């Protein structure tokens, strides 16, 4: 059916864009953080302002990519069901891949939740206490870089899950 294929194609295109976004965002964030790390755990106000604005500005995009990934991932089998009255029969390999992909997506969502609603607001609050050209309070600076280190570690984990999502997606096409 052409209508089914068109809907599937649109869902798959959006799904693939979300897949790339889910992997690209933590990859590029990781590169930004690694480049910033070359300057050590001392505040460089202008540089750190750009890093924080970039990382915190990317947060909504990450959530949109993950939501799109989830919605389109659910939409594709529902599309088949709508046109055929049954879900497509898949091989055991595909069922395992779907389960692992969903676990990875949920893990990414949990990590993003912790970063966006836990660490980022606290980092924003801490950074607001710094001023350009002034020596920062050593305790605040230490806390700031400690929180940044925690966020970096969580982003590294998220990147691994994003790669898992990409890999598991390749095995979902196995038919029974």
Contact 101, 165 (CB under 8 A): yes
Return mean pLDDT, the chain: 91
Quote the percentage of the chain above a pLDDT of 70: 100
Instruction: Check pLDDT > 80 for residue 1.
Output: no
Instruction: Determine the straight-line distance between the first and last CA of the chain, rounded to whole angstroms.
Output: 21
For the chain, how big is the Rg over CA atoms in Å? Answer: 20
Domain that residue 44 falls in: 2-169
Q: Is residue 18 a part of any domain in this protein?
A: yes
Q: Is residue 175 a part of any domain in this protein?
A: no
Q: Is residue 118 a part of any domain in this protein?
A: yes
Q: Is residue 31 a part of any domain in this protein?
A: yes
Q: How confident is the model at residue 111 (pLDDT cuts 50, 70, 90)?
A: very high
Q: Is residue 176 a part of any domain in this protein?
A: no
Q: Is residue 17 a part of any domain in this protein?
A: yes
Distance CA 157, CA 24 (A): 14
Q: What is the pLDDT of residue 21?
A: 87
Distance CA 104, CA 127 (A): 31
* Number of domains composing the chain: 1
Q: Is residue 174 a part of any domain in this protein?
A: no
């Amino acid at each position: 059916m052409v209508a089914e294929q068109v809907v599937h194609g649109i869902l798959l295109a959006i799904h693939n864009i979300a897949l790339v976004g889910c992997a690209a965002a933590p990859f590029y964030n990781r590169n930004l953080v690694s480049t910033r790390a070359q300057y050590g755990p001392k505040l460089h106000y202008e540089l750190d302002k750009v890093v924080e604005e970039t990382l915190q500005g990317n947060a909504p995009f990450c959530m949109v990519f993950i939501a799109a990934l989830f919605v389109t991932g659910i939409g594709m089998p529902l599309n088949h069901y709508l046109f055929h009255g049954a879900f497509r029969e898949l091989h055991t390999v595909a069922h395992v891949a779907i389960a692992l992909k969903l676990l990875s997506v949920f893990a990414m969502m949990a990590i993003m939740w912790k970063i966006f609603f836990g660490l980022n607001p606290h980092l924003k609050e801490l950074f607001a206490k710094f001023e350009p050209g002034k020596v920062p309070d050593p305790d605040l600076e230490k806390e700031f870089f400690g929180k940044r280190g925690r966020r970096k570690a969580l982003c590294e984990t998220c990147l691994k899950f994003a790669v898992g999502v990409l890999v598991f997606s390749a095995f979902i096409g196995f038919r029974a």
